[in-house]
Amino acid sequence: MQDLATISPGILRVGHSHTRVTIVEPLARSTGHQSWFSGNLAEALLREGIPVTITTFDGMHDDADLAMQSFPCSSVRRILPASPFWLRRIFTRLTGVPCGTLASPARARWQWQIFLYNIVATASSVLSVRRHADRDGGGVVHLLCPPSRLVIGCLVGLSRRRTRWVITTFVSPSCFRGHISKLRKMSRNRSLTIIVQTESLAREWANVLGPAAVRMIPLPSERIATSGGRGESRRILGLPEDLPIIAVIGCIAPAKGYIELFEAIRDLPRDFRVLLIGDTGAWVSPDPRIVVQNAGWTENTLFHLRFVPESQMSVLFNAVDIVTLLYRQPNGSSGILSLCQRYGVPVLATRFGEIGKQVISHHLGLTADPHNPAEVRDALTTLLSRTRDEVGIRCGAILPASDEQLQPMSSWASVARAHVALYDDLYTGKTSE
């Protein structure tokens, strides 16, 4: 196993890139971590003067669209709006998501509709950009979608010499065991590079694909200053100001561990409130309100089952005291964890998987076994008894600040320059063959 410094991009090169870069984010018009990351990365690259073509299924979400409009060097290729009217009409009837609207779980009546939307969006986006890549003269195509069986199936038989493919993933290779051999084959012929954001994921992927196929580019480490006090933020969101608030943020689905949370706090004193906030589909079962009622927490639970725009994220994280990430799946990932670190909010997270590793190693809060109510209860009680600073929230990088290779990752500009360095490395290797 090579040293981690050989996996990461290393010292960043400053300057413009001559590499043709295409970013593919099929689900950019959604509410997830992937869309948040793609919008910020694309904007940072454009601010560095790097011309970028963005391929999406149905355009960028509203905040990203506004950002893209201010950069003349950007180009957004939208697949669904360019399709025939009758095809768009059929797709809307099937999925419940009209063209040009947010692809959120609340728009779907049944879960399979969102699943269908994701499948069609991903396959059509990847196949479209593959068709355009060699025709446009090669370059680097950066896929901001997981290396799933569907994605890799769309890339089988890639040309080695014309285009380099990069995939950013937030989860362990153990999630892709069914087609890991195809990933290994593509990485061996240098047509595919995997980007991750943490040291532990870099080591896992390097063990599977080899260090040469893996790059680590952490998320920016800057602390976001929130404006106004806690009371003002709560008033903006319509939240009561009398008690501490513990938040579950995102689609309130069982996988997020909210059922385990209420099981653990069932007998605790009602001296805090629980906030369930995020876009949530009608198909979620059991209904969160029934779970809360059965636990006897109806009076102290706040329901905001709606999408939170990026422009209100700072207000939300300033208003809450603790965020819970008691994910059931040990290999899950969460953009909320990165936001908690950036805004300095303590986390109560599952002990297992990548989320647990980050919380433990970077002092972001406390962890517990979601299936052990006593552990969850004790950890929550401890967090409630401390201030944010006492919990040990660190404002530094998501990786150890002592690692000189990673200190430059202090902003989205640093992250963008790290990506540009990687794109240029891949492009240089391509042209020297």
Q: Where are the domains of the chain?
A: 4-220+406-428, 230-391
User: Which residue type sits at 215?
Assistant: R
pLDDT means over runs of 10, the chain (433 residues): 41 53 87 78 85 86 66 77 93 91 84 92 92 74 90 77 84 81 82 87 90 88 64 89 91 89 93 91 87 94 84 86 87 75 89 84 89 94 75 40 42 89 79 40
* HEC readout, 297-314: CCCCEEEECCCCCHHHHH
Contacts of 426 (CB under 8 A, 6+ apart): 19, 140, 164, 166, 193
Superfamily of domain 230-391: Glycogen Phosphorylase B; (3.40.50.2000)
pTM: 0.80
Write the pLDDT tens digit of every residue in 383-418.
998 755 555 444 333 333 333 333 445 688 889 999
Interatomic CA distance for residues 399 and 432, integer angstroms: 33
Q: What is the dihedral sign for C-alpha 241, 63, 99, 113?
A: negative
Structure-token pair, residue 424: 């240029």
Note the pLDDT of residue 176: 81
User: Which residue type sits at 379?
Assistant: A
Are domains 4-220+406-428 and 230-391 of this chain identical in fold? Answer: yes
Note the pLDDT of residue 333: 65
Note the pLDDT of residue 402: 37
DSSP 249-298: ESS--GGGTHHHHHHHHTTS-S-SEEEEES---TT-SS-HHHHHHHHT-S
Note the pLDDT of residue 10: 35
Structurally, at CATH architecture level, domain 4-220+406-428 sits in: 3-Layer(aba) Sandwich (3.40)
Q: What is the dihedral sign for C-alpha 232, 238, 242, 245?
A: negative
Write the pLDDT tens digit of every residue in 260-289.
999 999 999 999 999 999 888 888 888 899
Interatomic CA distance for residues 190 and 188, integer angstroms: 5
